[in-house]
Amino acid sequence: MTELLDELRTAFGPAAVLDPADMANVLVGYRGVHRGDAVAVVRPGTTEEVAEVVRLCARHAAAVVTQGGNTGLAGGSVPADDGSARPSVVVLLSRLARIEPVSTGASSVTVEVGATVEAVQRAAHGAGLMFAPDWGARGTATIGGAISTNAGGINVLAYGPMRNHVLGLEVVLADGRIWNGLRSLRKDSSGYDLKQLFIGAEGTLGIITRATLALMASITHESTAFAAIRSTSDLAELMAMARAGTDGTLTALELIPDMGIEAVGRKFARARPLATRAEWYLLVRYGGSSPVEQDLAEFLGGAVDRGLITDAVVAGTTRQSDELWFIRDELSPPGLIANFELAVKMDSAVPVDRIAEFIESIEETCRSVSPAGRPYIFGHVGDGNLHIHVLPPDSQADMAEFLGHRPALYAALDNLTWSMGGSISGEHGVGQELRTRIVGQKPPVEFDLMRDIKHVLDPHDTLNPGKTIPADPRQ
Ligand SMILES: Cc1cc2nc3c(=O)[nH]c(=O)nc-3n(C[C@H](O)[C@H](O)[C@H](O)COP(=O)(O)OP(=O)(O)OC[C@H]3O[C@@H](n4cnc5c(N)ncnc54)[C@H](O)[C@@H]3O)c2cc1C
């Protein structure tokens, strides 16, 4: 592979081709679980340069792994550690981060996909509009990664996942051709909507280089509350009440466990938002182009009257609201909870009307399969999507038992999710993490179709091999 490295250096100069030894962080996934190896890490500065990298790699039968902010949690952005001897080149898109002027007329913006989600949010805001997708990693996660994992986040409830915000794409294909599908049309019935294939494909079908994104009217009024709830079994009623009579102003509804409040408070020396202790809390936000305080007050008042909410605090200022959302952003356990790398981690979605039953069943499953594990569940309850963790025990005496139960716990939680018509990848994609386990989720014909599509677009399996699509059982 020295020849490939030499060709890359000649084509892009030494500064654009970094030695993997200097780029150790690039080769380890966010959670530290997945580690890969690479011949080179290349930082192209234009779409044409991305295409040239792909052509060179294809010629040398090397794999191409695209990386944005490396905040993905499924191991998709680092070369597969599946034991295959295939050399890989990581294409880092951080230099491809220009944002064109916002079109207020079309309510859209065209960006290079190495731009972060936060940078695009800022650009939209500067033009009096809003880019709605939002989550804790906004400052590092890129538009390319967000599109490629069909990312969700806290605003899905009102505005949907990334798929709903992409109007057009420019993509480098596996043979080095460039497809310019950058359009800002709101309606187009001219046949297959090819951009949809690349959304959520985790870099297995093409490298997205530019995107035209839909923007929306800015939210000018917002109101957030943090509420202690009586029980998760009331969630269906609470969600119905939160939505009732609001004309779509409910923009976020997040479930937070007391363990999370405790852990974030400890790590960042923050006071608890409420004196009242409960096992579970809701973080709820209303937003719109006219005042929404009344919507929030009616929800809280009604829920308190029925005994579903036992105490609540409404953020009176933007600072107080930011403080409440800070807790939500920091609930992710790496660095928050000891031995997190040993935890069982899932990101499942079920139909929203089954969420209470789902939480109860997760806890029951943990008790019966791995009594030493400690469930830590939070997330986008309004979308039926939960970040589920079963944390290792505090006591070393129980650790071996917990570790021994991990495979059975994953199997039981996967089956539980599917038995409720759910997905074990509500967010974050499949990557390497779920590539084997996802097999049980869909009929075999669905995976056959995915393989057929992959074969048409990438016959030599150049783009992100060993990810997303389960191995073909016929081979
Ligand atoms: C604290 C925290 C909170 C998070 N919260 C959420 C959340 O609420 N909702 C959610 O959905 N996710 C969440 N995530 C996961 C992650 O931020 C998203 O999946 C994000 O979209 C990944 O973007 P990235 O640029 O880091 O992509 P990477 O991690 O670099 O890549 C992710 C995948 O996309 C592929 N890819 C990247 N760029 C391109 C491209 N240009 N063309 C083709 N393929 C590409 C990679 O090969 C890989 O398969 C969270 C992560 C963290 C760390």
pTM of the model: 0.94
Distance CA 67, CA 38 (A): 13
Q: Verify whether ligand 1 is closer than 6 Å to residue 151 (CB atom).
A: yes
Closest ligand 1 atom number to CA of residue 29: 29
Closest CA to 353 of 300, 255, 420, 295: 420
**Would you place residue 396 in the very low, low, confident or very high pLDDT band (cuts 50, 70, 90)?**
confident
Domain boundaries, the chain: 2-92, 108-217, 221-329
Whether the predicted pLDDT of 258 surpasses 90? yes
- Residue 23 pLDDT: 81
pLDDT band at 277 (very low <50, low <70, confident <90, very high): very high
User: Using one digit for the tens of pLDDT, what is the confidence trace for 324-358?
Assistant: 999 999 998 777 888 888 999 999 999 999 999 99
Which residue owns the Cα nearest ligand 1 atom 9? 153
Confidence of residue 81 (pLDDT cuts 50, 70, 90): confident
Task: Please say if the pLDDT value at position 92 is more than 80.
Answer: yes
Positive or negative CA dihedral for 376, 379, 384, 388?
A: negative
User: How far is the C-alpha of 44 from the C-alpha of 316, rounded, in Å?
Assistant: 46
pLDDT digits (tens, 9 = 90+) for 353-374: 999 999 999 999 999 999 999 9
Q: 108-217 architecture in CATH? A: 2-Layer Sandwich (3.30)
Ligand 1, atom 45: nearest CA belongs to which residue? 203
Whether residue 400 is predicted with pLDDT greater than 80 in this model: the reply is yes
Ligand 1 pocket check for 73: Cβ under 6 Å: yes
b or e along 430-467 (b: 16 or more beta carbons within 10 Å of the residue's beta carbon)? bbbbbbebbeebeeeeebeebbeebeebbeebbbbbbb
What pLDDT score was predicted for residue 333? 75
**% of the chain residues with pLDDT over 70:** 99
**Section 124-143 average pLDDT:** 96
Q: For residue 441, is pLDDT > 80?
A: yes
Mean pLDDT (whole number) for 194-223: 97
404 or 1, which is more confident: 404
The per-residue pLDDT of the chain, averaged, comes to 95
Instruction: Please tell us whether the domain made up of 2-92 is placed in CATH 1.10.3720.10.
Output: no
pLDDT tens for residues 168-183?
999 999 999 999 999 9
Q: Is 93 in the pocket of ligand 1 (CB under 6 A)?
A: yes
**What local confidence, expressed as pLDDT, does residue 86 receive?**
82
Give the pLDDT mean for 169-198. 97
Q: How confident is the model at residue 95 (pLDDT cuts 50, 70, 90)?
A: very high
Question: Average of pLDDT values for 427-453?
Answer: 96
What CATH number has the domain spanning 221-329?
3.30.70.2190
Residue 120 Cβ < 6 Å to ligand 1: no
pLDDT of residue 395: 86
